[in-house]
Amino acid sequence: MSIETPGLRESKKQETRQLISDHATRLFLEHGFEETTIAEIATAARVAKKTVTNYFPRKEDLALDHHEEFTASLARAVTDRADGESAVAALRREFNAALDERDPVAGFAGPDFARMIADSPTLTARLRDLHDQREEALAAALAAASPAATPAIAPRAAAALLAAAHRLLFRRIQELTLAGHPNDRIAATLAPEAAHAFDLLDASLNASPDTAQ
């Protein structure tokens, strides 16, 4: 009798999760998110319907399967920044890296995927919720790094401004994608726009050190 190691079990789980996600994405793109059912996804992936919901409790998570990375991304950039690096500088650096990598988490998902989201009220609402969650996580990270005497509103205010800039940049990538621009052109367009946004943030937030250092 063969015994599966924890590593092998985890690998199989990841393979099953990816299989379900791939079939779900294909069906969503072919038929639309609202029109595709969990049962159809299960049939395509050759798994039980319960298996799909075990891996993806919400149907939206099948489409936005990078949601955990997305909501944690800004907070992680602040938490992992180098000593002496401001929050604005860390987030600028991380966004520029995302542009260079054409990172899907930053919004580089391709025209078909962008259209699927734009055409789905459910996914549009879920994306707004994820942006809000990302802001909340960033506020918590800024609060944890702030001096004890920092006013309670300061990290939340800084997070609101920083998250709003990232929300705008994400939307710009989606807009340009839907307009038919290729990723390289989108990145070239966004680079100076992002620099302008971060310059504004740097001038405002770093003038009040407790909010962004």
The pLDDT value given to residue 146: 87
Dist CA 152 CA 144 (whole Å)? 11
Dist CA 60 CA 191 (whole Å)? 30
The pLDDT value given to residue 208: 59
Cβ 93 vs Cβ 104: under 8 Å: no
The pLDDT value given to residue 4: 61
Cβ 24 vs Cβ 42: under 8 Å: no
The pLDDT value given to residue 132: 97
Residue 8 has pLDDT above 90, yes or no: no
Note the pLDDT tens digit of each residue in 138-169. Answer: 999 999 988 888 888 999 999 999 999 999 99
pTM above 0.85, yes or no: yes
The pLDDT value given to residue 207: 62
Note the pLDDT tens digit of each residue in 59-115. Answer: 999 999 889 999 999 999 999 999 989 999 999 999 999 999 999 999 999 999 999
Establish how many alpha carbons lie within 13 A of residue 85's alpha carbon, considering only the half-sphere containing its beta carbon. 15
Note the pLDDT tens digit of each residue in 179-196. Answer: 999 999 999 999 999 999
The pLDDT value given to residue 212: 52
Note the pLDDT tens digit of each residue in 107-117. Answer: 999 999 999 99
Residue 175 has pLDDT above 90, yes or no: yes
Mean pLDDT of the chain, nearest integer? 92
**Helical H runs in the chain?**
6-31, 38-45, 49-55, 59-63, 67-79, 87-101, 111-118, 121-145, 153-178, 183-205, 209-212
3-state secondary structure of 107: coil
Reading the block at residue 22, the tokens are: 């791939």
The pLDDT value given to residue 107: 93
The pLDDT value given to residue 1: 47
The pLDDT value given to residue 66: 87
Dist CA 71 CA 129 (whole Å)? 10
